[in-house]
C-alpha cells in the first residue's frame, strides 16, 4: 500500500541534543512537508520541499533543518537551537489526489 511512514513514533531528547525524525513516502509525490502540532493547536508549517534538492522555510523554521536528497525521503532535524521542541510532528506529501499525512512522531525533551 502507498503511504507515508514516520519513525520513530516516540522520541526523547536531552537538552542540547540534535535529533532527526524520519519521513519516507512511496507515493511518488514531489512535494513534502513538515508540520508541528502543540496540544490544542492546529498544525504549523516548519519546512516544505517541492522537489528533490530543494526546500523552503515555512512559518516556524527556526531551530529546525531538513534535507531532500531523495524523492522518497524528507528527514527533519530538531537542533539544540529549538528552545521548545516538545510537540507532535507530522510529515505530509502532496500529489495526485491531494495531501497524505504520516502517523506522526511525538518528541519529548527530558
Partner 1 sequence: GESVGLHLPTLSVQEGDNSIINCAYSNSASDYFIWYKQESGKGPQFIIDIRSNMDKRQGQRVTVLLNKTVKHLSLQIAATQPGDSAVYFCAENRGTGFQKLVFGTGTRLLVSP
Q: Does 23 bind partner 1 (CB under 8 A)?
A: no
Which residues, in sequence order, are CB contacts of 71 under 8 Å at separation 6+? 28, 29, 30, 52
Q: How far apart are CA 95 and CA 29, in angstroms?
A: 5
Number of residues in contact with partner 1 under rule CB under 8 A: 24
Q: Which is nearer to partner 1, 20 or 96 (CB)?
A: 96
Binding mask 27-56 for partner 1 (x = CB under 8 A): ----x-x-x----xxxxxx--x-x-----x
Question: Please, which of residues 61-100 interact with partner 1 by CB under 8 A?
Answer: 88, 90, 92, 94, 98-99
Q: How far apart are CA 52 and CA 25, in angstroms?
A: 13
Q: Which is nearer to partner 1, 82 or 105 (CB)?
A: 105
Compute CA distances 106 → 35, 86, 92, 98, whole Å. Answer: 12, 8, 15, 24
Place of cell 512559518: 59
CB of 5 to partner 1, least distance (A): 11
Report whether 85 contacts 109 (CB < 8 A): yes
Q: Which residues are at the interface with partner 1 (CB under 8 A)? A: 31, 33, 35, 40-45, 48, 50, 56, 58, 88, 90, 92, 94, 98-99, 101-104, 106
Amino acid at each position: 500500500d502507498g503511504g507515508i511512514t514516520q519513525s520513530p513514533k516516540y522520541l526523547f531528547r536531552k537538552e542540547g541534543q540534535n535529533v532527526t525524525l524520519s519521513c519516507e513516502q512511496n507515493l511518488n509525490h514531489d512535494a513534502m512537508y513538515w508540520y508541528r502540532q502543540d496540544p490544542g493547536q492546529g498544525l504549523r508549517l516548519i519546512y516544505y520541499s517541492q522537489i528533490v534538492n530543494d526546500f523552503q522555510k515555512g512559518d516556524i523554521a527556526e531551530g529546525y533543518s531538513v534535507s531532500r536528497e531523495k524523492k522518497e525521503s524528507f528527514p527533519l532535524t530538531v537542533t539544540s537551537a529549538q528552545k521548545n521542541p516538545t510537540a507532535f510532528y507530522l510529515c505530509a506529501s502532496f500529489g495526485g489526489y491531494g495531501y497524505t499525512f504520516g502517523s506522526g512522531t511525538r518528541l519529548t525533551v527530558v
